[in-house]
A = this chain, B = another copy of it.
Amino acid sequence: MSDLLERLRGRGWRMTAQRRVVAEVLDGEHVHLTADEVHARAVGRLPEISRATVYNTLGELVSLGEVLEVATDKRAKRYDPNAHQPHHHLVCAQCGAIRDVHPIGNPLADLPDSERFGFTVSDVEVTYRGTCPNCAAA
């Protein structure tokens, strides 16, 4: 189940109740929680966990490369534990629902040298926007 926890243990990450709970909350696919949502769920399992710890832990998971920050929402950052399979996002403009998607082709190759302005380009993030079936029905 918890691939994330396994990987973290394997990397010698010091395990505490708080860190375990944060990792458990984040584990899964199509999971894109904000820091506050992670905190709310973590509190459900470990009521005394503090906001600062959740932020610290999320920051560490990002540094370790086990979780990605995504900016699909224009308000809070969201955290995506699916860091080991490259993917992009499809976002509902109305309700904010997010799905992981896998476009064909490699967008990195689509940026000609003449459009790189001397940058060393290392990464690309693609966000598709639209309306989800639920919102379309309403």
Q: How many identical subunits does the complex contain?
A: 2
Which of B69, B71, B102, B103 is close to A107, meaning CB atoms less than 8 Å apart? B103
Q: Residue among A72, A107, A122, A133 with the most chain B CB within 10 A? A: A107
Q: Residue among A69, A90, A119, A136 with the most chain B CB within 10 A? A: A119
Kindly state the separation between the CA atoms of A127 and B93 in the bound complex, as whole angstroms: 18
Closest Cβ of chain B to A73, distance in Å, is 8
Chain A at the B interface: SS class: mixed
A104 in contact with B112 given A90-B117, A117-B132, A130-B119 (CB within 8 Å): yes
Decide yes or no whether A74 CB sits under 8 A from chain B: yes
Give the contacts of A114-132 with B (CB-CB under 8 A).
Answer: 115-132
20 other contacts beyond A71-B74, A103-B110, A104-B111, with CB at 8 A cut-off?
A71-B72, A74-B77, A90-B116, A90-B121, A92-B119, A93-B122, A99-B119, A105-B110, A107-B110, A107-B126, A108-B128, A111-B128, A118-B132, A118-B133, A119-B130, A120-B136, A122-B130, A122-B131, A123-B129, A125-B127
